[in-house]
Structure 1
Amino acid sequence: MQGKQPRLRDQVRAVIRVNHYSIRTEKTYWYWIRYFIRFHQMKHPRDMGPPEVNEFLTWLAVHRNVAAATQAQALNSLVFLYDKVFGTPLGEIGDVVRAKKPRKLPVVLTHDEAMRIINHLSEPDKLIASLMYGSGLRVTEACRLRIKDLDFQQQVITVRDGKGAKDRTTLLPATLIEPLQNHVESIRKAWQQRSEEFLHPVSMPFALARKYPGASRSLAWQWLFSSPVLCTDNLGNVSRHHRHISSVQRSVRGAAKAVGIHKPASCHTFRHTFATELLKRGNDIRTVQDLLGHADLRTTQIYTHVLGQGFAGVRSPLG
């Protein structure tokens, strides 16, 4: 007798994890798959195809007025479902009404505004925000740093498994070397003394826990910013995870409000500000692209529009 077919969500989760997609991608894809199912009155996606996908994407553009990037995200989620999970590529979906909601320029802080927010934060969020501004890290990337990712000698930070599952290196600001070294030293002392927080291993990516069984308890693999709460996976294994992203986001929003910043500042605003400050100071746009980890130069070029008259350090021939 054939076994019961796994639930759709379990099928999606299994394929995503086999392909080493991030947890955030998993949540995003499942959000749009579920939205698609609900839009079609809980009809199973196997019983639908290109016409239903076309209808859903067009509805998003016409009735929900979503941005073009949001519509593309929904399409990517459904293409993944049919291609990777069902093994039947979606194929031609016909003419879809494309979302035309213009992309807004990113919110950017002045250097003074960024420092006012940072200086209002308590540790470890102050150090995390400093890395987002000083190194151009996404909040996810900053929270997921491990001790081994810092190279104080070369003043380089290695970002592992960033957006698009890519690694890259970026700047380690000279002003952060001493506070980061002190922070690492405090972790090292607690680790050597086998403090209560180190009784459990740190969570490890993919199959590395099996490949390097001792790594999860080694100093090099310790989170730079650990969560104060232990986590338990589906198998009942207890481990220590990194600081939760939403916790940092709340702290930054609260600090911006407290110091009187009336712009809609968020964690990602520090990354935008990093990019515009580098361009304003005459740095080459391709170097900024590499530091940010942008696959397409056009993504980086949006910051030249933010600069207005400065336009990435270029001056008019009239002066």
Structure 2
Amino acid sequence: MDIGFVGVLRSQKPAHRPDLLTRAEVKLVLDAVPDGVNKLIFGLLYGAGLRLIECLRLRVGDVDFAHRQITVRDEKGKPDHLTLLPVSLIGPLQNRLRYARMLHQQDLAAGYGDVYLPPAVQEEYPDITERASLARQWRRQYIFPAAHLSTDPRSGLTRRHRVDESVPQKALRQAALSTGIPKRVNCRALRDAFAAHLLESGYGRPHHPGAPRPQRRGDHDGTLHPRPQPPRPGYPQPAG
């Protein structure tokens, strides 16, 4: 018997709700990471609210130690935004810059030393000679450079790229497994914990790119944890 067309709706896979880490769990995970570059990266994810790719793309000129802030730039030319640099990360970050500068000086001495420039910068400086000069500037080098030089498949140039995302991701998985925390722990979980703990401390949502006045993401004491601060003029006051 012909019953005609029967419309069938395909079931949708429910969206996965990320596991929210407590402050104690974040500390447990970070303590399980050996001192070094990965620990600094995870500190920036949780302490400054950076995405992993935002962190790995940071350039030397993006960090302002005097004002304790980091400029997060979009490689496609979208508006930049600011986030706070926790006090506890200033020393490790300065040590990292010393290491990056040593590598850059070695590369320059070997006839290399230029770095990939984002499309927005390339469009701003169409002259090839000027771009080549910019690419060798210290302020434009990656804070987290790769350990080895490699050939850029787009340009054919030999240069030092940034650390690949897989390196810290693997380190975080290993650290999380060693803690026995029964939650999904990844780089996004650290950033989500930053936002949640900031709200718990009485702050509104983190910055919105393009806002008239970029809002720094929270205030910190000597640790990576946000702490309540006195009301600031012009800022919304926490309820209660």
Aligned to 1:269: 189
Change (3 A) 1:162 1:217: closer
Aligned to 2:177: 257
Structure 2 counterpart of 1:248, from 161, 164, 168: 168
Aligned to 2:46: 133
- Could you list the per-position Cα deviations for residues 243-287 of structure 1 after superposition, in whole angstroms to 9, with x for gaps in the alignment? 1112211111111111222200100001100001110011123xx
1:172 counterpart = 2:85? yes
Give the deviation of 1:119 after TM superposition: 2.5
- Could you list the per-position Cα deviations for residues 27-57 of structure 1 after superposition, in whole angstroms to 9, with x for gaps in the alignment? xxxxxxxxxxxxxxxxxxxxxxxxxxxxxxx
Change (3 A) 1:263 1:105: same
| Structure 1 residue ranges (4+ consecutive) displaced by more than 6 angstroms after TM superposition | 195-198
Task: List runs of 5+ in structure 1 lacking aligned partners.
Answer: 1-57, 67-100, 296-312
Q: Is the 8 A contact 1:146 1:222 kept in 2?
A: yes
Question: 3-state SS of the aligned residue for 1:186?
Answer: helix
Structure 2 counterpart of 1:219, from 129, 138, 141: 138
Quick one: percent identity of the two aligned structures? Answer: 32
Give the deviation of 1:106 after TM superposition: 3.0
TM-score (norm 1): 0.56
Change (3 A) 1:218 1:198: farther
Change (3 A) 1:213 1:163: closer
TM-score (norm 2): 0.72
Change (3 A) 1:197 1:154: farther
Change (3 A) 1:217 1:235: closer
CA distance in 1, matches of 2:182, 2:77: 32
Give the deviation of 1:165 after TM superposition: 3.6
CA distance in 2, matches of 1:180, 1:194: 21
- Bigger helix fraction: 1
CA distance in 2, matches of 1:197, 1:253: 36
- Could you list the per-position Cα deviations for residues 43-93 of structure 1 after superposition, in whole angstroms to 9, with x for gaps in the alignment? xxxxxxxxxxxxxxx99x725x24xxxxxxxxxxxxxxxxxxxxxxxxxxx
How big is the alpha-carbon RMSD for the aligned residues of Structure 1 and Structure 2?
A: 2.9
Q: Is the 8 A contact 1:136 1:274 kept in 2?
A: yes
Aligned to 2:215: none
Aligned to 1:147: 60
CA distance in 2, matches of 1:188, 1:221: 11
CA distance in 1, matches of 2:93, 2:191: 19
Q: Is the 8 A contact 1:150 1:157 kept in 2?
A: yes
Q: Is the 8 A contact 1:144 1:242 kept in 2?
A: yes
Q: Is the 8 A contact 1:107 1:263 kept in 2?
A: yes
Change (3 A) 1:314 1:265: farther
CA distance in 2, matches of 1:178, 1:198: 31
Question: 3-state SS of the aligned residue for 1:62?
Answer: coil
Q: Is the 8 A contact 2:104 2:113 kept in 1?
A: no
Q: What amino acid is the match of 1:265?
A: V
Task: List runs of 5+ in structure 2 lacking aligned partners.
Answer: 1-6, 212-237
Question: 3-state SS of the aligned residue for 2:138?
Answer: coil
Question: 3-state SS of the aligned residue for 1:158?
Answer: strand
Q: Is the 8 A contact 1:191 1:198 kept in 2?
A: no
Aligned length: 200
Give the deviation of 1:120 after TM superposition: 2.2
Change (3 A) 1:128 1:273: same
Q: Is the 8 A contact 1:231 1:241 kept in 2?
A: no
Change (3 A) 1:263 1:164: farther
After the TM superposition, which residues 1-319 of structure 1 pair with which residues of structure 2 at under 5 Å, given as runs?
62=10, 65-66=12-13, 101=14, 103-122=15-34, 123-161=36-74, 165-192=78-105, 194=107, 199-206=112-119, 207=122, 210=128, 211-229=130-148, 230-285=150-205, 288-290=206-208, 293=209
Q: Is the 8 A contact 2:115 2:140 kept in 1?
A: yes
State the structure with bigger RCO (CA 8 A, min sep 6), 1 or 2: 2
Q: What amino acid is the match of 2:28?
A: R
Question: 3-state SS of the aligned residue for 1:242?
Answer: coil
